[in-house]
Structure 1
């Protein structure tokens, strides 16, 4: 048991693993991480599944059966990914019960090719919710302009949602509003609001990657002094917005009806710049009622040498605002940064999904030829 991870958990940070694979499930590794590393949730994305499919033989038996049945690649992808997610949900079900349904959650993403299509995203969310059929499931819906009404509809229908690919404070405010509206629709339909949950995944390291690239182009010493601080500052201001919006009269009415807050989740917490501390986006974003979803390397780094110093968010709002103002003064266009990051995020997941489909198609062809 890592004392550092226990301290992090005691500060109100739920530790989730940003990874899933058939090997991890089959070997009991996920159960080990729950026991030894304070892991209380799991997130997945197309890149994670593409990586899992490309390694080892864990999926061979299922792929062979799918090939024998003549299943097309789209259906095969859903069969394979939902199998892992169901298994993950079952492993984490005791955590779900122990935490009064707060944690023990596993996330699966809608087809990223649908990120700009509201109705298709809703249909996909419904299909995944039905296919997995576990109460501790989250459906990941991207926070694109077209994703916002899909989030509202899903929440209104009682589907728990992990809102992903949030980069900007303005969009985060719209995500919170979409959640509130969905809950209001669910309440009007007579649904039990206590059974609906959501997290809002605010991406961190990618903000630094994009802004640091722009600061390097500016080239001045003043610009270079601003590097590698925007990701944390942006996330801290997101938490300030969370505190503000979840203190409103609108939220109080929903809370009184049984609703649960939509917790901020820090995503993209693996450090991209090797010059930075590898626990930066964990140690600097400790605040109650948050989730930090970590790649395994970041999780192990935090367990080994992380420094949990209590709440590192709520006392740092002024500094975060000053840093973002300094970036603006230096010539960094925040609105353009977050637009680029959203577009790139959607594109990267779409590429990964197509790679996943390609890998599965090749495996189906091979298994079909061998039957």
Structure 2
């Protein structure tokens, strides 16, 4: 039986993707069960998730021994291990991909985060991941740094489906949408079938509240306290407003007529960081059609247990969202500084997790060769 709470969210038009991936999740049948019981129609991964998976249990031991015997170095080993996991998850989700005509059933894998400030290296990495996984339902995650924008365009132009990640700023989000449309236009000129290309734009939510609420606490007034846990949702709602504006323009309509698909907003970082907040806050409050919500397992479980999606909570809230952002500005909280700090921190965190992953695999390779 499908869970009533997750079904209610799906009925609003939200695709539920799981923010988790491990070999055990795939091989145990758990991922398939989640598609049948909790409306999960996609998977996202990142270096933190892979590092956690590799350190948990023995699922990777045999492959590590084989790679060690073959003389693989640590970078090669990580590449093989992660692309194998993604490929296998793609195969589990292939029925969802087929049933949704390619909209869902997607599995995302990220380019090496150490390349986030290098356009050409990001393009090369995206092509290699796309070719190696070799599944139509894979998505390549490219960070929305200034250097990442032309890489997004190049990947889309080459017919590669892209999950744009680490978006915090509204201005940067508009640049991401422009990069997507430019890529589609170049693909069309090159004779690529636009209907084969899919993209989502991962707009981070709870991390915005973490940074803003820290600044509100320093201000310490009642006015500041009243804005606690409101910035992330307001920012995301204004992002959706921008999405509706861009994807109703003549430029978009020309591409849509040629078979192009919407680049859906994806709400990322949707677990609450403050235990005082409702654990389904960023799910229920951002429910709206043509979006994806990627949830870590605990948030998915909370939604299934007691989440109460009650319709579109976004499109009628633009004025209130603008008011929240205006009040933050009046209190002296610089939006530009907040989003810059978050982008820089996001890259640093993913680099640190990638280094942890490399260190873990290096240690396992050394043990296997001993």
**TM-score of the aligned structures, taking structure 1 as reference length:** 0.99
In the alignment, which residue of structure 2 is the partner of 1:304? 305
Task: Tell me the SS of whatever aligns to 2:139.
Answer: strand
Offset at residue 307 of structure 1 (A) = 1.2
In the alignment, which residue of structure 1 is the partner of 2:14? 13
Once the two structures are superposed, what CA deviation does each residue of 1:307-363 show, in whole Å capped at 9, x if it has no partner?
A: 111000001111000010011001110000000000000000000000000000000
In the alignment, which residue of structure 1 is the partner of 2:120? 119
Point out where structure 1 has 5 or more consecutive residues left out of the alignment.
none
In the alignment, which residue of structure 2 is the partner of 1:154? 155
**1:336 maps to 2:337:** yes
Alignment of 1:98-117 (within 5 A): 98-117=99-118
In the alignment, which residue of structure 1 is the partner of 2:237? 236
In the alignment, which residue of structure 2 is the partner of 1:278? 279
In structure 2, C-alpha distance between the alignment counterparts of 1:34 and 1:301, rounded to whole Å: 16
Cα RMSD for the two superposed structures: 0.4
In the alignment, which residue of structure 1 is the partner of 2:77? 76
Offset at residue 64 of structure 1 (A) = 0.5
How many residue pairs get aligned? The number is 369
In structure 2, C-alpha distance between the alignment counterparts of 1:279 and 1:195, rounded to whole Å: 33
Task: Tell me the SS of whatever aligns to 2:93.
Answer: helix
Offset at residue 103 of structure 1 (A) = 0.2
Offset at residue 70 of structure 1 (A) = 1.0
Once the two structures are superposed, what CA deviation does each residue of 1:139-187 show, in whole Å capped at 9, x if it has no partner?
A: 0000000000000000000000000000000000000000000000000
**1:23 maps to 2:20:** no
In structure 1, C-alpha distance between the alignment counterparts of 2:364 and 2:25, rounded to whole Å: 20
**TM-score of the aligned structures, taking structure 2 as reference length:** 0.99
Runs of 4+ in 1 over 2 A off after TM superposition: none
Offset at residue 297 of structure 1 (A) = 0.2
Alignment of 1:23-172 (within 5 A): 23-172=24-173
Once the two structures are superposed, what CA deviation does each residue of 1:34-62 show, in whole Å capped at 9, x if it has no partner?
A: 11010000000000000000010000010
**1:325 maps to 2:326:** yes
Once the two structures are superposed, what CA deviation does each residue of 1:115-134 show, in whole Å capped at 9, x if it has no partner?
A: 00000000000000010000
Task: Tell me the SS of whatever aligns to 2:265.
Answer: strand
In structure 1, C-alpha distance between the alignment counterparts of 2:272 and 2:217, rounded to whole Å: 18
In structure 1, C-alpha distance between the alignment counterparts of 2:47 and 2:177, rounded to whole Å: 25
Alignment of 1:161-310 (within 5 A): 161-310=162-311
Task: Tell me the SS of whatever aligns to 2:191.
Answer: coil
In structure 2, C-alpha distance between the alignment counterparts of 1:153 and 1:308, rounded to whole Å: 38
Offset at residue 2 of structure 1 (A) = 1.2
In structure 2, C-alpha distance between the alignment counterparts of 1:144 and 1:101, rounded to whole Å: 27
Point out where structure 2 has 5 or more consecutive residues left out of the alignment.
none
In structure 1, C-alpha distance between the alignment counterparts of 2:223 and 2:271, rounded to whole Å: 26
In structure 2, C-alpha distance between the alignment counterparts of 1:26 and 1:9, rounded to whole Å: 26
Task: Tell me the SS of whatever aligns to 1:107.
Answer: strand
